[in-house]
């Protein structure tokens, strides 16, 4: 049978663009559909603009620290949200252009329209109908908010990137990556921030020591973190918003941002009608090779709800291209994926948490270090850093490394290589530290932690 394309990709985010570029390089005729902007969540309204806002927000602390290092600031620095957003938008436009060029340079045909599936080989894109031998679903996810009264007054991270005015009083709801990162951004830029988390401790899924440590750090920086706390109702008032909590407490704010998770984008795509099975939460069910329950349809990235991280989607996209168009079947390895939370201070994490390691190995050796970073020695800053290593005593292999501290994201990347190589604690110890640095703690801890 003749098809218009060898591959039709739905969604031009990180996973979709990488899969189309690599597949095209293997000789496939490729098209891609995107209903919003080429680049996807990460580039347009996720990781990239978020990191720029994190940089912006950290200056306030740097200005404060500067005095102890001999600097005199002529006057109290002020911040223009408008300038920040304008400059950020310029950069996102530039990156969007680069993504268009990537598609052009790799002969990938772009359809700027929503695509839906008519059958296993036929896609309706805008007003056109096209056929393809293979279809790759890479449609990502979107924020979800609970349907409480007045939720229409809340924003998600999507809108936070485009607020016309900087809100002076902000409530952030949620305790995951996005909530923690945005609470830090608003706080650093000078807002009064209340973060509400419905359960006992933020960052569920992370190592318990890290969760506790970070919660204490962000509170020291001025975020009013309230656990077991959740809004029941939001009302608009003359002065802003009135938020009634489930326990009856009433808070006022200028903006309330929900970061209560994301949902895979599969609604209305026609997937189930043609036999592509979905999980309960709408995510596409896939094999380790990213194949769906329909042989010629694959899916990568957040839409599959495996690990919702950009570099994971990119790896899955490359593994897909090699499997299908280079005859080198391979599954992406989802073990020991390093990740970072761009909170202030940052969290870097790779491998198992202590709880997971105990579950898997029974006994584990723990090494912990809680210390004052050198930069704080001259300032009045109270920030502390924390490093934790988890070791399987039978093999001596380091199975988890968790860090809270500045540059934790940069540090954990290299530690990720060591864990991929199954490095032992003895090999960590044989590595010479870089002095003075936060990272040297990773190779200098000798005393096993003994609970009191």
Residues involved in catalysis? 435
Q: Does 308 bind ligand NDP (CB under 6 A)?
A: yes
- Based on the shown chain and the rule CB under 6 A, indicate whether residue 176 belongs to the binding site for ligand NDP: yes
| Cα 268 to Cα 444: distance, rounded to the nearest angstrom | 54
CB of 347 to ligand NDP, least distance (A): 9
What's the CA angle centered on 334, arms 333 and 337, to 5 degrees? 115
The answer to whether the CB of 341 falls within 8 A of the CB of 179 is no
Number of H helices, E strands in the chain: 12, 21
Binding of ligand NDP by 171 (CB under 6 A): no
Q: Does 95 bind ligand NDP (CB under 6 A)?
A: no
* Binding flag, residue 297, ligand NDP (CB under 6 A): no
Residue in 259, 286, 364, 387 binding ligand NDP, rule: CB under 6 A: 259
How far, CA to CA in Å, does 395 sit from each of 127, 334, 338, 422, 444? 60, 22, 21, 10, 19
Token pair in block for residue 173: 């709801």
Q: What's the rounded Cα separation, in Å, for the pair 19 and 315? A: 9
Total residues binding ligand NDP (CB under 6 A): 23
Find the shortest distance in angstroms from Cβ 315 to ligand NDP.
14
The whole-angstrom separation of Cα 238 and Cα 220 is 32
CB of 270 to ligand NDP, least distance (A): 26
Instruction: Return d(Cα 12, Cα 110) in angstroms, integer.
Output: 9
- Shortest Å, Cβ 409 to ligand NDP: 8
Contact 94, 101 (CB under 8 A): no
Pairwise CA distance, residues 409 & 75, whole Å: 33
Among 85, 337, 340, 404, binds ligand NDP (CB under 6 A): 340
- Where are any strands of DSSP class E within 109-226? 109-111, 115-119, 122-125, 128-137, 141-143, 169-173, 192-196, 224-226
Q: Judged by CB under 6 A, does residue 352 bind ligand NDP?
A: no
Q: Does 199 bind ligand NDP (CB under 6 A)?
A: yes
**339 forms part of the interface with ligand NDP (CB under 6 A):** yes
The binder of ligand NDP chosen from 5, 342, 361, 428 (CB under 6 A): 342
Own/partner contacts of 373-380, CB < 8 Å, gap of 24 or more, are 373/405, 373/406, 373/438, 374/436, 375/65, 375/406, 378/68, 378/69, 379/64, 379/65, 379/68, 379/69, 380/68
Nearer to ligand NDP, 80 or 414 (CB): 414
Least distance in angstroms from the C-beta of 105 to ligand NDP:
28
**Rounded distance between C-alpha atoms, residue 32 and residue 330, angstroms:** 23
Nearest approach in angstroms of CB 203 to ligand NDP is: 8
Which position among 166, 177, 206, 428 is part of the footprint of ligand NDP (CB under 6 A)?
A: 177
100 makes contact with ligand NDP (CB under 6 A):
no
Task: Rule CB under 6 A: say whether 146 interacts with ligand NDP.
Answer: yes
Give whichever of 165 and 335 is closer to ligand NDP, judged by the CB atom: 335
Stretch that binds ligand NDP, among 7-15, 340-348, 378-386, 390-398 (CB under 6 A): 340-348
Q: Which is nearer to ligand NDP, 178 or 398 (CB)?
A: 178
Contacting positions for ligand NDP (CB under 6 A): 146, 173-179, 181, 198-199, 204, 230, 259-262, 308-309, 339-342
């Amino acid at each position: 049978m003749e098809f218009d394309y060898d591959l039709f990709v739905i969604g031009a985010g990180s996973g979709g663009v990488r899969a189309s570029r690599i597949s095209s390089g293997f000789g496939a005729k490729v098209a891609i559909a995107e209903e919003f902007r080429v680049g996807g969540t990460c580039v347009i309204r996720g990781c990239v603009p978020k990191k720029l806002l994190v940089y912006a927000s950290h200056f306030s602390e740097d200005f404060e620290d500067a005095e102890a290092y001999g600097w005199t600031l002529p006057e109290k620095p002020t911040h223009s949200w408008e300038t920040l957003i304008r400059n950020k938008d310029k950069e996102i436009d530039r990156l969007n252009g680069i993504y268009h060029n990537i598609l052009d340079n790799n002969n990938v045909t772009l359809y700027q329209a929503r695509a839906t599936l008519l059958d296993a080989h036929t896609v309706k894109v805008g007003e056109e109908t096209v056929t393809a031998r293979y279809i790759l679903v890479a449609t990502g996810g979107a924020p979800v908010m609970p349907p409480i009264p007045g939720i229409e007054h809340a924003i998600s991270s999507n809108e936070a990137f485009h607020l016309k005015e900087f809100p002076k009083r902000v409530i952030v709801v949620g305790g995951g990556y996005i909530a923690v990162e945005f609470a830090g951004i608003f706080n650093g830029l000078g807002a009064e921030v209340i973060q509400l988390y419905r359960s006992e401790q933020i960052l569920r899924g992370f190592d318990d020591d890290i969760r506790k440590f970070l919660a204490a750090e962000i509170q020291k920086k001025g975020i009013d973190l309230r656990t077991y706390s959740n809004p029941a109702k939001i009302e608009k008032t003359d002065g802003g918003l009135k938020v009634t909590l489930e326990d009856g407490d009433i808070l006022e704010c200028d903006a309330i941002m929900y970061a209560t998770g994301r949902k895979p984008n599969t609604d209305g795509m026609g997937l189930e009608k043609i036999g592509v099975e979905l999980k309960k939460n709408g995510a596409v069910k896939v094999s380790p090779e990213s194949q769906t329950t329909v042989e010629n349809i694959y899916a990568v990235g957040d839409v599959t709800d495996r690990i919702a991280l950009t570099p994971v989607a990119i790896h899955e996209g490359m593994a897909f291209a090699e499997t299908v168009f280079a005859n080198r079947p391979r599954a992406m390895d989802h073990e020991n994926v390093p990740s970072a939370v761009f909170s202030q201070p940052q969290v870097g994490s790779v491998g198992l948490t202590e709880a997971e390691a105990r579950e898997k190995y029974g006994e584990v050796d723990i090494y912990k270090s809680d210390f004052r970073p050198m930069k704080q020695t001259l300032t009045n800053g109270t920030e502390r850093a924390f490093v934790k290593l988890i070791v399987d005593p039978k093999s001596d292999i380091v199975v988890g490394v968790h860090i809270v501290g500045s540059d934790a994201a940069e540090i954990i990347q290299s530690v990720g290589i060591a864990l991929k190589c199954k490095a032992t604690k003895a090999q960590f110890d044989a590595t010479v530290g870089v002095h003075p640095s936060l990272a040297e703690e990773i190779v200098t801890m000798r005393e096993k932690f003994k609970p009191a």
